């Protein structure tokens, strides 16, 4: 039969704590999308919960007749056509800041794994090869310089961790930032802001990307930028595929410019061996499938945050 309760639809995988919270709420109906309920969702959903799997295109939006809210668990809203949503009077929400610690932890993990060649050495042992320690020297990160491109929520948390754990310095590039003073947060003796990307690339031992994917950040790190980088730098992309030009990255690896590259965001996702065979030939590349926020703690916390927000929105 028909229900007068507002319907919330869950289009991408959410933590069980989030779906349980919605199911326990008697004032709303909730549905996890399946093959059989798609039409009901298009007809009735007032709010949809997404992550980054579902592309919310103008065509997709036009299929909904009651939709008022799109809520995304996560920060990057590049999978949602914001202009089309605006035109249709649909409000879009995300969860800024909630996953910053987890993404920063992943970026730091990748830097340490690359510097100490952990995945490479582990792989050798698994393959039954002898690892000659004197021929397998890593790099120390203590006291080194981290370059953070995009000093928002994640960039700031990573900078703090770097200063705390590595006792290093941080150079930040973010011409659009309007928040609190970085030098006050991080300590002026540890942090330096630059207005030109090149000034960061030329001094950073580790370059880490934390910008959204937009027209202005697409291909931000391309051939010229690799040329500017220090010899033996580490590149980290835990932001979005497309920000790094993958062909230029391959060239940088082939010319031994980099100690390594840690990539949680790729042009093709999920990343496969077929798609990334040439990058994966380099033992100093680590590819992870967009797991920046994939911790039990953060999936539960931000899933429940979205569930609560959605209920508030549809209940007015």
What span, in angstroms and rounded, lies between the C-alpha atoms of 152 and 217?
Answer: 14
Residue pair 109/115 in contact (Cβ under 8 Å)? The answer is no
Q: Is 160 in the site for ligand NAD (CB under 6 A)?
A: no
Residue pair 57/80 in contact (Cβ under 8 Å)? The answer is no
Q: Is 149 in the site for ligand NAD (CB under 6 A)?
A: yes
Q: Is 155 in the site for ligand NAD (CB under 6 A)?
A: yes
What tokens were used for 257?
Answer: 């410019």
Residue 102 CA from chain centroid, whole number:
10
240 part of the active site:
yes
Could you tell me the smallest distance in angstroms from the CB atom of residue 149 to ligand NAD?
5
- 316 class by beta-carbon count within 10 Å (0-12 exposed, 13-18 middle, 19+ buried): exposed
Q: Is 66 in the site for ligand NAD (CB under 6 A)?
A: no
Which residue's CB is nearer to ligand NAD, number 46 or number 237?
A: 237
210 part of the active site:
no
Q: Is 176 in the site for ligand NAD (CB under 6 A)?
A: yes
Closest CA relative to residue 31, chosen from 296, 42, 306, 66: 42
Q: Is 111 in the site for ligand NAD (CB under 6 A)?
A: no
Which residue's CB is nearer to ligand NAD, number 168 or number 242?
A: 242
Residue pair 170/230 in contact (Cβ under 8 Å)? The answer is no
Which residue's CB is nearer to ligand NAD, number 61 or number 265?
A: 265
15 part of the active site:
no
For binding to ligand NAD (CB under 6 A), which residues are involved? 74-76, 96, 99-100, 103, 149-155, 173-177, 210-213, 216-217, 238-240, 264-265, 290, 292-293
Catalytic residue positions, numbered: 240, 269, 290
């Amino acid at each position: 039969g028909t229900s007068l309760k507002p319907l919330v639809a869950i289009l991408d995988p959410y933590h069980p704590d989030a779906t349980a919270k919605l199911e326990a709420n008697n004032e709303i109906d909730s549905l996890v999308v399946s093959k059989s309920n798609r039409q009901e969702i298009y007809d009735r959903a007032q709010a949809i919960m997404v992550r980054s799997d579902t592309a919310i295109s103008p065509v997709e939006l036009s299929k909904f007749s009651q939709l008022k809210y799109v809520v995304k668990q996560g920060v990057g809203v590049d999978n949602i056509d914001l202009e089309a949503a605006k035109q249709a009077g649909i409000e879009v929400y995300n969860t800024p800041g909630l996953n910053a610690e987890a993404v920063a932890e992943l970026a730091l993990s990748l830097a340490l794994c690359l510097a100490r060649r952990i995945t490479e050495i582990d792989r050798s042992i698994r393959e039954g090869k002898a690892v000659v320690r004197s021929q397998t020297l890593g790099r120390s990160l203590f006291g080194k310089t981290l370059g953070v491109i995009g000093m928002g929520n994640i960039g700031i948390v990573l900078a703090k961790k770097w200063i705390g754990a590595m006792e290093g310095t941080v150079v930040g590039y973010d011409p659009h930032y309007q928040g609190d003073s970085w030098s006050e947060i991080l300590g002026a003796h540890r942090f330096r802001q630059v207005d030109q990307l090149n000034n960061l690339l030329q001094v950073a031992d580790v370059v880490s990307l934390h910008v959204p994917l937009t027209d202005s950040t697409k291909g931000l790190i391309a051939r010229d930028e690799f040329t500017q980088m220090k010899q033996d730098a580490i590149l980290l992309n835990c932001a979005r595929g497309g920000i790094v030009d993958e062909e230029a990255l391959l060239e940088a690896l082939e010319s031994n410019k980099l100690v390594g590259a840690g990539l949680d965001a790729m042009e093709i996702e999920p990343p496969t061996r077929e798609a990334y065979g040439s990058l994966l030939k380099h033992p100093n590349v680590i590819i992870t499938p967009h797991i920046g926020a994939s911790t039990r703690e953060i999936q539960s916390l931000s899933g429940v945050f979205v569930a609560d927000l959605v209920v508030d929105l549809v209940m007015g």
